[in-house]
A and B are shown apart, each in its own frame.
Chain A
Amino acid sequence: MRKVAVVGAGMTKFARRALETPKELSYQASKAALDSAGMKLKDIDCVAHGSAPDAFDGIHQKGEYLADGCGGWNKPTMRVFVGGATGVHAIAHGWYHVASGLADTCLVVCEEKMSSAMPHAQAFFLTIFDAITERALGLNLIWIFALEMKRYMERYGYTKEDMALSAMKNKNQGLKHPASQFYGGNELTVEDILNSEVMASPVSRLDVSPVSDGAAAIVLASERTARRLTDKPVWIEGVGWCLDTAYWATRDLYYPRYTEIAARKAYKMAGIREPHKEINIAEPYDPFGYKQLHHMEGLLLSPKGKTVELLRDGHFDMDGNLPMCPSGGLLGVGNPIAAAGTLKLCELFWQLRGEAGERQVPGNPRLGVAQAWGDLMQVSSVVVMGINNA
């Protein structure tokens, strides 16, 4: 396998409802990523793009529809889709193209436009469940995440306030991200979150990331090309992914086993033995406050059942031992499904190069991990990125 570097990143602002079409969003993010790498589309050998359920757009074969916005015409272009995990999975997918030697450069683009689904995108999630044994019960994603959150809290005795604290951390951090749909807004308190409308207990409205439109992109290059383009390449050190059973009610929801399996693969490739000591920045997938804590355990970055304690001790703060979601994550920036995972890769790229501005993690972080989660709450994709270790 050849070494692969990230040489550029770009994204759109995230918005509840954006003026631009999915193609236009994809173009904006891709062009920004190319510009940041000092590249033109003609320098790109292939395109890996990702977008979540076609049902949001009401456009079947959305990959084909999006391809020109992603710069994909007249090139090998492939769409990947693993629900919410798509945004990190697409990078692993793009990585293969370059690591294998098939391509020297790859543009990775993820896009989502959820606002087209009327009256609310949540209704369209009904169609991801088993058509015969589950749909008739009228369930949605909020319901099953509520079931998982309840199981997780019960297992370790975590409280609603613990979970609200986790959500608050990201919501307030997101105010500092220029792409956030809440940029420059007001900080929330734990009480604001606890007092927000209960959607499906224990999930309250502010425990959840918003519905969003947006796109994000990164550019991958082989070692030789990367060194020609930049003196600060960020290396993809490891990738891993894992799909657990879709009989989601038959596995214990308290622990994301699929995340651990994916993380172990990525750490092994990266030569990481003690992730909690070696990783400097974590961007776990955080559609809900509880979920980023759940994922920190699966990523082996926090001992099972001790994560709230570490959170309360400031271990995951910007100046803590392991800053968690310095981007503000899905909760703080927005959750255009596939693009939200790629937001995390953009963040690692900017953080590791010291270009994250107001959100810059102190102490010259060298190694970061990003993770996303999706499908029927049973798939995880993990990417480890690092700088200065050529």
Chain B
Amino acid sequence: MDHKEFIRGGTALSEDEIKSGKIFVEEDALDCRYAWDTGVAIGRYLAELKKGKIIAKKTNCCDRIMIPPRMFCELCYRPSGAWTYVQDTGVVNTFSISNIYYDASRVPSGEPNPMPAVIEIDGASKGMGIMHLLGEVKPEDVKIGMKVKAVWKPESERTGSITDIEYFKPY
């Protein structure tokens, strides 16, 4: 017996068959809107970002300083402890230079390439990082281990969002 007998269907369509209208297609565009409550821990995190500060939360059970802050330690499953500020500096743990935006559309030539990175935040437990973007650095100069500092939006433009930090830059 050969397995080929049990591979059936999955009829590939060509661009032509779709464009010529030979295949019927039903189109729809959903317009789903949401308003997410930011909650206790992240609500405070965002309020502090609006002030130009990064806040974390300590655990009483396992001696961690958690960022993003959480109301409970997910490892020990106990309530977390005191709020504590951490620095707005950190170290690049890993990074990418992107030629695509989130929807896989290409970055037009001349536009800056987004540079996503995991940044280990100074003052948080070792390895505790957040994803953010890098800026004011040439793509070829970005390195793992590079020290970076938050570049904040002007206070009047901050809204209590992760984007109140525009990006992190080397310092």
Is B170 positioned at the interface, with any CB of A under 8 Å from its CB?
no
Do B6 and A147 touch across chains, with their CB atoms under 8 A apart?
no
| A171-206 to B contact mask, C-beta < 8 Å, 1/0 | 000000011010000000000000001111111000
**A126 touches which one: B102, B128, B132 (CB < 8 A)?**
B102
| B103-118 to A contact mask, C-beta < 8 Å, 1/0 | 1110000000010111
CB of A288, distance to nearest CB on chain B (Å): 13
Is B131 positioned at the interface, with any CB of A under 8 Å from its CB?
yes
Total interface residues on B, CB under 8 Å, equals 55
Is B141 positioned at the interface, with any CB of A under 8 Å from its CB?
no
Do B162 and A15 touch across chains, with their CB atoms under 8 A apart?
no
Do B104 and A140 touch across chains, with their CB atoms under 8 A apart?
yes
Is B60 positioned at the interface, with any CB of A under 8 Å from its CB?
no
Is B98 positioned at the interface, with any CB of A under 8 Å from its CB?
yes
Do A178 and B7 touch across chains, with their CB atoms under 8 A apart?
yes
Interface residues of B (CB under 8 A from A): 1-13, 18, 23, 27-28, 30, 34, 36, 38, 42, 45-46, 67-68, 74, 93-105, 114, 116-118, 127-133, 144, 161-163
Chain A contacts with B in 17-45, Cβ cutoff 8 A:
17-20, 24-25, 28-29, 31-33, 35-36
Do A199 and B163 touch across chains, with their CB atoms under 8 A apart?
no
Do B10 and A122 touch across chains, with their CB atoms under 8 A apart?
no
**B7 touches which one: A24, A32, A118 (CB < 8 A)?**
A32
Do A18 and B6 touch across chains, with their CB atoms under 8 A apart?
no
Is A311 positioned at the interface, with any CB of B under 8 Å from its CB?
no
> Inside 8 A of A142's CB, which chain B residues have their CB?
98, 100, 104
Is A99 positioned at the interface, with any CB of B under 8 Å from its CB?
no
CB of B118, distance to nearest CB on chain A (Å): 5
> Inside 8 A of B131's CB, which chain A residues have their CB?
134, 137, 139, 144, 147, 249
CB of A272, distance to nearest CB on chain B (Å): 26
Do A123 and B104 touch across chains, with their CB atoms under 8 A apart?
yes
Chain A contacts with B in 355-376, Cβ cutoff 8 A:
355-357
Do A20 and B96 touch across chains, with their CB atoms under 8 A apart?
no
Do A28 and B9 touch across chains, with their CB atoms under 8 A apart?
yes
**A355 touches which one: B3, B8, B105 (CB < 8 A)?**
B3
Do A131 and B36 touch across chains, with their CB atoms under 8 A apart?
yes
Do A138 and B130 touch across chains, with their CB atoms under 8 A apart?
no
CB of B147, distance to nearest CB on chain A (Å): 17
Bound complex: CA A275 to CA B28 (Å) = 49
Is A297 positioned at the interface, with any CB of B under 8 Å from its CB?
no
Is A56 positioned at the interface, with any CB of B under 8 Å from its CB?
no
Bound complex: CA A248 to CA B10 (Å) = 35
CB of A19, distance to nearest CB on chain B (Å): 4
Bound complex: CA A80 to CA B149 (Å) = 42
Do A18 and B162 touch across chains, with their CB atoms under 8 A apart?
no
- Can you list 14 A-B contacts (CB < 8 A)? A10-B7, A15-B12, A28-B9, A119-B105, A123-B103, A132-B36, A139-B116, A143-B102, A146-B98, A150-B144, A178-B7, A198-B97, A346-B3, A355-B1
